[in-house]
Amino acid sequence: GQNIDQPTEMTATEGAIVQINCTYQTSGFNGLFWYQQHAGEAPTFLSYNVLDGLEEKGRFSSFLSRSKGYSYLLLKELQMKDSASYLCAASSFYNQGGKLIFGQGTELSVKP
């Protein structure tokens, strides 16, 4: 089957670091995406991991372990504007077609 699990909500303090975990089980797995989504808006791309290891991009880093079916998104120096839903998505490619399978999202609240 296809399954993506991530915590429903998290709270963190401005200036702190937060790690959002994601576990996945997907057939035809190709890579792991993280998107940020503010309420009522489009998801915006944050990061993509296809190989094991850490990818760093400014205040955001993402890690993937394909053997464990596990990823995390690390947000450093949290700002109030980082309050949003963070979506973990596994990319699945088969029969010449591709799709993203999304988790339910982790609602992050950043408090002063």
**Residue 51 binds another protein (CB under 8 A):** no
Q: Which is nearer to another protein, 69 or 103 (CB)?
A: 103
Q: Half-sphere exposure of 38 toward its Cβ, with a 13 Å CA cutoff?
A: 5
14 lies in the binding site for another protein (CB under 8 A): no
C-alpha to C-alpha distance for 22 and 105, rounded to whole angstroms: 10
Instruction: Say if CB 30 and CB 91 are below 8 A apart.
Output: yes
- 103, 4 Cβ separation under 8 angstroms: yes
By CB under 8 A, the count of residues binding another protein is: 28
Among residues 71 and 78, whose Cβ is nearest to another protein?
A: 71
How many whole angstroms separate alpha carbon 81 and alpha carbon 55? 22
Compose the 89-108 pattern: x for residues touching another protein by CB under 8 A, - for all others: x-xxxxxxxxxxxxxxx---
Q: Is 49 in the site for another protein (CB under 8 A)?
A: no
31 lies in the binding site for another protein (CB under 8 A): yes
CB 78 within 8 A of CB 17: yes
List contacts with another protein (CB under 8 A). 30-31, 33, 35, 40-45, 48, 87, 89, 91-105
